[in-house]
Amino acid sequence: MAPAAVHYAALPHAARAYNVGLPDQRTSCFMPMPTPSKPSCAGAALFLREFLANPRDVGSIWPSSRRLAWRMARAVPLEPGHRVVELGAGTGAVTEALLQRGLPPARLVVVERSAELVAHLRRRFPGVRVIHGDAADLVELLGGPDSVDSVVSSLPLRSLPPRQVAAIVRAASAVLAPGGRLIQFSYRLARPGSLSRRFLAVASGLVWSNLPPARVAVFVNRGAGPLAVGA
């Protein structure tokens, strides 16, 4: 599988550890993508209904492709004890990839704002803690700061109101341990801009086999500081 266009925005050596487009020691591109579960018509219909009801919140007509979900999951380190929170799980495309990647269900917490989608996720992933809530309230939802090592976000940051995005980015930085990762996809294909001064972009890669194509970006948490949400 040829790696898609990849660049390292900063820290060229350290960036190898945050690889989203090239193989690393644990998650090689040559590691075959696990077989996805059979797409469920009910899941797709639910996703579409949610989009029609809340287009700004959902941000897409259909769930992420298997390839995009796998690329997100591959950017999460598989160190023992690694704790992950997934934001905006929808019908569970990325959740499934994270579990297939080898993350123990007990190490994963999911936060989703739609009650319908939360009910669906709880049925689909009974071993995973699924919280019905707003990602902007992450610190309260997870019980305090420094509670996870990676944040995996499918939130449509480009369609949400800027003040809400600022609150989400601030909360994600607060719950992440110093040096923890924020993994975010976007339908904006340009290199990731400055999400906030709290986060340093270290790697990104394009995923063409998604409708529309997307870019997965990896940011490292720099901790508290003046918040400036950018592109």
Ligand X SMILES: C[S@@+](CC[C@H](N)C(=O)[O-])C[C@H]1O[C@@H](n2cnc3c(N)ncnc32)[C@H](O)[C@@H]1O
With H, G, I as helix, E, B as strand and everything else as coil, classify residue 161.
coil
Least distance to ligand X, CB of residue 60, Å: 4
> Toward ligand X, which CB reaches closer, 112 or 149?
112
For residue 151, the minimal CB distance to ligand X (Å) is: 12
Member of 147, 154, 173, 196 binding ligand X (CB under 6 A): 154
Pick the closer one to ligand X by CB: 15 or 130. Answer: 130
Tokens found for residue 159: 């369609």
Hey, how many other C-beta atoms are within 10 angstroms of the C-beta on 91?
Answer: 25
Contacts of 121 (CB under 8 A, 6+ apart): 89, 91, 92, 95, 110, 112, 128, 130
DSSP state for residue 126 in the 8-state scheme = T
CB of 106 to ligand X, least distance (A): 20
The binder of ligand X chosen from 21, 156, 180, 192 (CB under 6 A): 156
The stretch among 3-11, 57-65, 121-129, 200-208 that binds ligand X (CB under 6 A) is 57-65
DSSP assignment of 30-75 equals TSPPPPPPPPPHHHHHHHHHHHHH-HHHH-SSSPPPHHHHHHHHHT
64 makes contact with ligand X (CB under 6 A): yes
| Exposure letters 124-139 (e unless 16+ CB within 10 A, then b) | bbeebebbbebbbebb
Q: Which of 9, 84, 135, 201 binds ligand X (CB under 6 A)?
A: 135
Stretches 139-147, 152-160, 187-195, 197-205: which one binds ligand X (CB under 6 A)?
152-160
Number of shown-chain residues binding ligand X (CB under 6 A): 23
For residues 79-118, which are near ligand X according to CB under 6 A? 87-90, 93-94, 111-114, 117
Per-residue DSSP letter, 15: G
The interface region with ligand X, picked from 52-60, 175-183, 189-197, 211-219 by CB under 6 A, is 52-60
Q: State the residue for tokens 């989703």.
A: 112
100 with 37: CB under 8 angstroms? Answer: no
Q: Does 58 participate in binding ligand X (rule CB under 6 A)?
A: yes
Q: Where does this chain bind ligand X (CB under 6 A)?
A: 57-60, 63-64, 87-90, 93-94, 111-114, 117, 134-136, 154-156
